[in-house]
A = this chain, B = another copy of it.
Amino acid sequence: MEKFDIHILGCGAALPTTRHFSASQIVNVRDKLFMIDCGEGAQMQLRKTHLKFSRLNHIFISHLHGDHCFGLFGLISTFGLLGRTADLHIYSPYGLEGLFRPVLEAFCHHLPYEVFFHTFGTTEPVVICEDRSVVITTIPLRHRVPCCGFLFREKPRQNHIIREMVDFYQVPISWMHRIKNGEDYVTPEGEIISNDRLTKPASMPRSYAYCSDTMYDPEIVEQIKGIDLLFHEATFADGERGRARETYHSTASQAAAIAQAAEVKQLLLGHFSARYEDETILLREALKEFPETLLAREGMCIVVRDILPQSKS
């Protein structure tokens, strides 16, 4: 199975506690690492995962609050000390570069690599990153400052060739690409060999959405419909619904209502307020609305699983 893993580096809210670091995650798509948010301590947490720093070339910052980006200074500095030479790309709403560049120039002036800041708008979904295997799109959220989540969608994969069948029909190499893409094979004699005799279907493309920070916002449901895993902030319990509204945050049961409406396969709660010594209350409240709910915690790795499509016949 090709990797599509989420590593939780920090899942606390603005106040770090003895239990939670500030927001940061790694999405590992086939050994390419993407960082989402970079709160203070993200580099220490990343080190604990034993993932290779050199595999990380893209960092997405949801919004310009300190608990989502103050870890960038140390991370960028450390990458320099480790001799990194590959470009590092940082994507965020407008304003990060102007604030961070002078600090980096003063403290990290001999970096052996380049840091590029990219800006995205926060009112419409935009594709901010794309490679052979994944497309990353912003998810406009509603917070006190311009803010976006991020939707990771795997691209459809090619069917898997069944080696013995291809050998049996003596399919020439020149046909392989077409067969992987689902075409039937036509022999030199004109016989049609149905594709499903030559291939096994690829797994379904997987998907992950990160939605933090945001108030309850049903407008995001359409964009994340049916995804495999949704991380949604759950700063507060129901008892603090008013406080959630005031601060543009969500309660756990609001996160669950979004998961329910979007018919996602699994919900992961995070961005926990420091007031909860134990987040079981948040889990209980969410489970009432949506049974496939988990609490994030530091050091956790969630594998987004392959699901085979329904048989064609």
Residue positions of A touching B, CB distance < 8 A: 14-18, 21-22, 40-41, 43-44, 47-48, 64-67, 70-71, 73-74, 77-78, 81-82, 95, 99-100, 102-103, 106-108
Contacts and interface: CB of A to CB of B under 8 A. Distances in A.
Contact of A16 (B15, B64, B70, B78): B78
A102 B105 CA distance: 14
A66 to B, nearest CB: 4
Could you say how many copies of this chain the assembly holds? 2
A44 B66 contact: no
Given A65-B107, A73-B73, A74-B22, A16 B44 contact: yes
A66 B108 contact: yes
Given A41-B41, A43-B40, A103-B103, A15 B78 contact: yes
A47 B15 CA distance: 11
A23 to B, nearest CB: 12
B74 A70 contact: yes
A160 B40 CA distance: 47
A47 B18 contact: yes
Given A82-B15, A102-B99, A40 B107 contact: no
